[in-house]
Amino acid sequence: MKYNFDEIIDRKGTNSMNVEGFKGYIFGAYPGIEFPYTDDEFIRMWVADMEFATAPEIVDAIKARADRRIFGYTNLYDDRYYKAFSSWCERLYNWNFPQEQLVFTLGVVAALYELVGDLTSEGEKVLTLIPAYSYFLHAAEHNQRELVCSPLKKDSEGRFVIDWNDLEQKATAPDVKVMIFCNPHNPTGRIWTEDELTRLSSVIRKNGLWVISDEIHCDVLRCNKRHIPLGKIMPDYQKLITCMSASKAFNLAGMMMSNIIIRDESLRNIVHSHETCDMNPLSIAAVQAAYEKGYEWLIELRSYLDANFEYVYKFFAERIPTAVPTKAETTYLAWIDMRNTLPDIRDLPLFFAQKAGVLLEGGDSLFVGNAEGFIRLNLAMPRSMLAEGLERIAMAIENYKKQSVRE
């Protein structure tokens, strides 16, 4: 490997949400919560950023831009960024879009909040599949809209699949106007097949829905997988918005720059009029470098993550066989069914924080619904850290079982 994914990097004192913000995010409802671990002692397997350094090519590009020393008002006035990003889409997805459709927001969440507000009126509803990233719900609630949820179900091979009868029935309701679709899917790790996307596209088309295709995880795939943008399946559908970003694959969430591809001109104008138009010069340098020079790093990241997933599957099979990790085709997030392992623990994140010193997410309160009894483990970390986290999880379960037998 050319790049070192085994390096442990100290994030303390960098104002990172991962290190310093976990109490509010995971345990928001517990004021003054105390743990038998100091903040330093936790293994952090929660929020979807990575314990890896970003690609050195990106760091160099940020430094080169910093060396220009002036950081005045900035925007994109040449087409170098568009060329970098559209070539990336061409190379990875064999898909493209015209330059004028590209809009920027300070993150995909910011786009969701904005778009749900723009696309719905009072009394209208937003549709999504659950379990879901919690900000799909927050985006609806922020705009005082109801989120209509269609639960994914498991097929005979244990894959999460769409319940078509349920989805079709919910999509038909006259007050449902927008669908937020996670492609590929966090937290279940599904890459939707061409057949599934085609069937979904006909549900959307038949009901004239707006669709926000959140494709933020599209670059982090298992090595043998390919992502299909929904825009490729629906090339002429004007009511489609695609959200992409370099933030997940290149660990750039804090740079706050995401690509929102909006086909409909009037919607684009509304978004332009609401969003601050200026951009961060260091973010442009970073994201452009990711698309221009980050491919080789990404390929190595993917193989490191594939090996981390294999490590997790083997560990669970040997040490915690009652818990079932879903085979993740995408993301660095393992979605694990703990219902047969800890059936009487209601708050799994709290249990593992207190008993194992491991920070993780799970359950309906963090994933909207259809998520009770599941945990999500972030595996984007050096293998030694991953091994320690898993060991602690196994020990906490073993101790709990022993204690239950004694009682």
Ligand X SMILES: Cc1ncc(COP(=O)(O)O)c(C=O)c1O
Binding site residues, ligand X, CB under 6 A: 48, 107-109, 133, 182, 186, 214, 216, 245, 247, 253, 258
Min CB(27)–ligand X separation in Å = 18
- The DSSP bridge pattern shows strands 210-214 and 240-245 to be parallel
* CB burial of residue 166 (10 Å; 0-12, 13-18, 19+): middle
Closer by beta carbon to ligand X, 379 or else 397: 379
Any idea how long the chain is?
407
Question: CB-wise, 3 or 367, nearer to ligand X?
Answer: 367
Those residues with Cβ within 8 angstroms of residue 98's Cβ, 6 or more apart along the chain or in another chain: none
Question: Least distance in Å: CB of 182 to ligand X?
Answer: 5
18/247 with CB nearer ligand X: 247
Closest to ligand X by CB, 183 vs 308, is 183
Report, in Å, the least distance between residue 93 CB and ligand X. Answer: 17
The tokens describing 136, both together, are 């799909």
DSSP for residue 79 = S
Closer to ligand X at the Cβ: 93 or 181?
181
Residue 258: partners with Cβ closer than 8 Å, 6 or more residues away: 104, 105, 106, 107, 108, 110, 111, 216, 243, 244, 245, 247
**58 closest CA partner among 253, 248, 283:** 283
**CB-nearer residue toward ligand X: 216 or 334:** 216
Give 330 or 341: the residue with its C-beta nearer to ligand X.
330
Q: 44 pairs with which residues across the strands?
A: 359
Q: Which amino acid is at 61?
A: A
Residue nearest to ligand X (CB): 107
CB 379 within 8 A of CB 332: yes
Given the complex with ligand X, which of 129 and 203 has the nearer CB atom? 129
Nearest CB to ligand X, comparing residues 57 and 361? 361
Instruction: Residue 10: count other Cβ atoms within 10 Å of its Cβ.
Output: 8
* CA distance linking residue 138 with residue 405, whole number of Å: 41
In order, the DSSP letters of 106-118 are SSHHHHHHHHHHH
Tell me the CB-side half-sphere exposure of residue 81, using CA atoms within 13 A: 23
How far apart are the C-alpha atoms of 117 and 185, rounded to whole Å? 23
Instruction: Extract the tokens encoding 348.
Output: 């799994």
Six-digit token string for 10: 């100290």
Nearest distance in Å: CB 248, ligand X: 7
Q: Least distance from C-beta 44 to ligand X, angstroms?
A: 14
C-beta of residue 323 within 8 angstroms of C-beta of residue 348:
no
